[in-house]
């Protein structure tokens, strides 16, 4: 699969341009919001957790969060911050100055990118950083190249900002990595941006330094903005290494927004702290937007994040060791199932398995027509929650997170195998 056949989610929304149709007077939800697809990953997670609450022993491979608790020293910093009246008040919309300083230091330590705090905005998770970056940089009709399989929030956030996501597909034959030739085929006179993420969600793909160099130089040659999503920077395994695009290609830095946060690296998804690093004029624009939308991120969560990013990487390293072990178990067990092809991912905490070999077969007395149907059957019949490839723009695949306990992981994949090996039901 290459750059052909663009398929877009949220395609009903036309980036703020009128469709010419008369408005429906009974309409309650705006066209813009009605065109949004629900976050499939969160929807599956919610359904699985609801089933769990009714007492069913569902094993959840759907969630995008580490199963580890937030490190104790981070929680302690938050507890102390609660007692400090300074944190009971509004603070600067763009983030606590001490946190911005610490993010600048942490970024230099972890990726080698030297930035000034004036190039940083602290946001409600990486998601808000992405929404604000798209809003600050896109005009109606701008095309954004989006390597697929993609994380489902990207096309929705691009569409809301008036942009048009242009997916560029890569499959397991290239380790789900797009090439410059693929990108070039998708580039038009309207292309203004590339979204780049390594390690990537949902595939766990990690691009080599050389590949990033080629892609970064290509973006510079086309004068494109690059969103470099670095949420999974610390989740890389084996010989794979994380590289930050603006470090590999310094010429890209002036048109690059780095997005990162504490959710994955520090097991803090619920604290909702992320950030963007961009040229100061873009940060000023994003901060103005944020000052009207949400104001400052919760001060207590910022204080916790300050402890997280200023601390050492012990907790991250322990998590990575456990995740690496689970990654290998999951790949091995999935590949033992007839009809499943699961490449070994180099990063993040997901496997992206092809189930094309299962489509058209029977399982549990039911026909498996699509990966979406398979995901539904697995949840209802085998009590296992997975996310179908449809959510990421590529039907025929399942995403499974291995951020769960070793015992649950083995039991969950065994359930999948038992279900698929029993055509009759
Ligand atoms: N980017 C990627 C690739 C992600 O997978 C996620 C979360 O799943 C985010 C950004 C946003 O993270 P958060 O908003 O939880 O900080």
Whichever domain contains 283, its CATH number is 3.40.640.10
| Range name among 4-18, 203-217, 326-340, 405-419 with the lowest pLDDT average | 4-18
pLDDT band at 20 (very low <50, low <70, confident <90, very high): low
Same-domain pairing of 229 and 319: no
Q: Is the CB of 132 under 6 A from ligand 1?
A: no
Chosen domain end from 256, 291, 311:
311
The predicted pLDDT at position 23 comes to: 65
Instruction: Say how many CA atoms lie within 13 Å of 4 toward its Cβ.
Output: 2
Residue 253 φ/ψ, nearest 5 degrees: -60, -35
Q: Whose CA is nearest to atom 8 of ligand 1?
A: 64
Same-domain pairing of 234 and 255: yes
Provide mean pLDDT across the span 142-149: 98
Rounded to the nearest angstrom, the distance between the alpha carbon of 127 and the centre of ligand 1 is: 6
Position of tokens 């690296």?
265
Same-domain pairing of 208 and 330: no
pLDDT of 3 above 70:
no
Q: Is the CB of 64 under 6 A from ligand 1?
A: yes
Q: Please report whether residue 4 resides in a domain.
A: no
Q: Whose CA is nearest to atom 10 of ligand 1?
A: 126
Provide mean pLDDT across the span 46-55: 88
Alpha helices in 258-395 (DSSP H): 280-293, 299-310, 314-335, 371-382
If one compares 415 and 18, the residue with the highest pLDDT of the two is: 415
Rounded to the nearest angstrom, the distance between the alpha carbon of 126 and the centre of ligand 1 is: 5
Q: For residue 264, say if its preceding peptide bond is cis, omega within 30 degrees of 0.
A: no
| Mutation test residue for ligand 1: of 65, 103, 127, 345, the one with most atoms within 8 Å of CB | 127
Rounded to the nearest angstrom, the distance between the alpha carbon of 7 and the centre of ligand 1 is: 22
The predicted pLDDT at position 424 comes to: 80
Q: Is the CB of 269 under 6 A from ligand 1?
A: yes
Same-domain pairing of 256 and 177: yes
Q: Is the CB of 347 under 6 A from ligand 1?
A: no
Q: Give 207-233 pLDDT, tens digit per residue.
A: 999 999 999 999 999 999 999 999 999
Question: Whole-angstrom Cα distance, residue 318 to residue 399?
Answer: 24
Q: Is the CB of 45 under 6 A from ligand 1?
A: no
Rounded to the nearest angstrom, the distance between the alpha carbon of 358 and the centre of ligand 1 is: 30
Q: Is the CB of 231 under 6 A from ligand 1?
A: yes
Q: Please report whether residue 77 resides in a domain.
A: no
Rounded to the nearest angstrom, the distance between the alpha carbon of 259 and the centre of ligand 1 is: 9
Q: Is the CB of 201 under 6 A from ligand 1?
A: yes
Same-domain pairing of 200 and 283: yes
The CATH code of the domain that includes 375 is: 3.90.1150.10
pLDDT of 2 above 70:
no
pLDDT of 6 above 70:
no
- The number of domains in the chain is 2
Position of tokens 């995403």?
399
Give me Rg for the CA atoms of the chain: 21
Q: Please report whether residue 10 resides in a domain.
A: no
Same-domain pairing of 64 and 94: no
Q: Please report whether residue 334 resides in a domain.
A: yes
Q: Whose CA is nearest to atom 7 of ligand 1?
A: 64
Rounded to the nearest angstrom, the distance between the alpha carbon of 336 and the centre of ligand 1 is: 31
Q: Please report whether residue 17 resides in a domain.
A: no
The predicted pLDDT at position 227 comes to: 98
Q: Is the CB of 126 under 6 A from ligand 1?
A: yes
pLDDT of 57 above 90:
yes
Q: Whose CA is nearest to atom 9 of ligand 1?
A: 126
**Structural domain of residue 142, as residue ranges?**
86-311
pLDDT band at 425 (very low <50, low <70, confident <90, very high): low
Nearest to 132 by CA among 293, 16, 13: 293
Q: What is the mean pLDDT of the chain?
A: 92
Q: Is the CB of 197 under 6 A from ligand 1?
A: yes
pLDDT band at 32 (very low <50, low <70, confident <90, very high): confident
Sheet containing strand 350-354, strands side by side = 350-354, 397-401, 387-388
Tell me the CA distances in angstroms from 333 to 56, 329, 336, 341, 342, one per residue in order: 24, 6, 5, 11, 9
Rounded to the nearest angstrom, the distance between the alpha carbon of 375 and the centre of ligand 1 is: 22
Same-domain pairing of 129 and 253: yes
Length reported for the chain? 425
The predicted pLDDT at position 67 comes to: 86
Concatenated DSSP letters of 137-153? H--TT-EEEEEES--TH
Letter string b/e over residues 32-69, b meaning 16 or more CB atoms within 10 A of that residue's CB: beebbbebbbeebbebbeebeeeeeebbbbbbbbbbbe
Q: Is the CB of 204 under 6 A from ligand 1?
A: no
Q: Whose CA is nearest to atom 3 of ligand 1?
A: 201
Q: Are β-strands 164-169 and 143-148 bridged in parallel, bridged antiparallel, or unpaired?
A: parallel
Q: Give 293-316 pLDDT, tens digit per residue.
A: 999 999 999 999 999 999 999 999
Residue 306 φ/ψ, nearest 5 degrees: -60, -45
| pTM across the whole model | 0.92
Q: Give 256-288 pLDDT, tens digit per residue.
A: 999 999 999 999 999 999 999 999 999 999 999
Q: Whose CA is nearest to atom 5 of ligand 1?
A: 201
Provide mean pLDDT across the span 56-65: 89
Chosen domain end from 245, 276, 311:
311
Query: CB neighbours of 363 closer than 8 A, spacing ≥ 6?
Result: 374, 377, 419, 420, 422, 423, 425
pLDDT band at 325 (very low <50, low <70, confident <90, very high): very high
Question: Which atom, in ligand 1's list, is nearest to the CA of 130?
Answer: 10
Provide mean pLDDT across the span 49-72: 90
Question: Which atom, in ligand 1's list, is nearest to the CA of 151?
Answer: 3
């Amino acid at each position: 699969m290459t750059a052909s056949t663009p398929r877009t989610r949220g395609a009903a929304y036309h980036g703020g341009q009128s469709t010419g149709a008369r408005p429906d007077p009974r309409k309650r939800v705006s066209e813009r919001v009605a065109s949004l697809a629900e976050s499939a990953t969160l929807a599956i997670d919610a359904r699985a957790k609801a089933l769990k609450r009714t007492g069913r022993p569902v094993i959840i491979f759907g969630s995008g969060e580490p199963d580890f608790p937030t490190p104790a020293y981070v929680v302690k910093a938050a507890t102390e911050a609660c007692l400090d009246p300074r944190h009971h008040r509004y603070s600067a919309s763009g983030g606590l100055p001490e946190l911005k300083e610490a993010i600048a230091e942490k970024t230099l330590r972890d990726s080698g990118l030297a930035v000034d705090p004036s190039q940083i905005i602290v946001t409600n998770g990486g998601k808000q950083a992405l929404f604000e970056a798209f809003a600050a940089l896109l005009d109606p009709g701008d095309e954004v190249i989006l390597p697929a399989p993609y994380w489902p929030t990207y096309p929705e956030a691009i569409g809301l900002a008036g942009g048009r996501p242009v997916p560029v597909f890569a499959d397991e034959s290239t380790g789900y990595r797009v090439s410059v030739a693929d990108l070039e085929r998708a580039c038009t006179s309207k292309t203004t941006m590339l979204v780049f993420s390594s390690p990537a969600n949902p595939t766990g793909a990690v691009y080599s330094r050389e590949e990033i160099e080629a892609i970064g130089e290509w973006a510079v040659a086309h004068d494109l903005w690059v969103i470099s999503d670095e949420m999974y920077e610390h989740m890389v395994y084996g010989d794979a290494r994380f590289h930050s695009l603006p470090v590999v290609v310094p010429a890209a830095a002036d048109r690059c927004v780095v997005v990162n946060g504490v959710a994955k690296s520090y097991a803090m998804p619920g604290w909702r702290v992320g950030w963007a690093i961009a040229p100061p004029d873009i940060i000023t624009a994003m901060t103005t937007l944020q000052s009207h939308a949400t104001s400052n991120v919760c001060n207590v969560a910022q204080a916790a994040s300050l402890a997280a990013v200023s601390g050492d990487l012990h907790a991250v390293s322990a998590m990575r060791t456990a995740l690496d072990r689970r990654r290998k178990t999951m790949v091995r067990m999935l590949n033992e199932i007839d009809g499943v092809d699961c490449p070994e991912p180099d990063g993040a905490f997901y496997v992206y398995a092809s189930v094309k070999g299962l489509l058209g077969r029977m399982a549990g007395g039911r026909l498996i027509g699509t990966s979406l149907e398979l995901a539904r059957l697995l949840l209802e019949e085998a009590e296992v929650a997975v996310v179908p490839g449809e959510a990421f723009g590529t039907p025929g695949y399942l995403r499974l997170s291995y951020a769960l306990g070793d015992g649950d992981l083995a039991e969950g994949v065994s359930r999948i195998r038992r279900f698929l090996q029993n055509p009759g039901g």
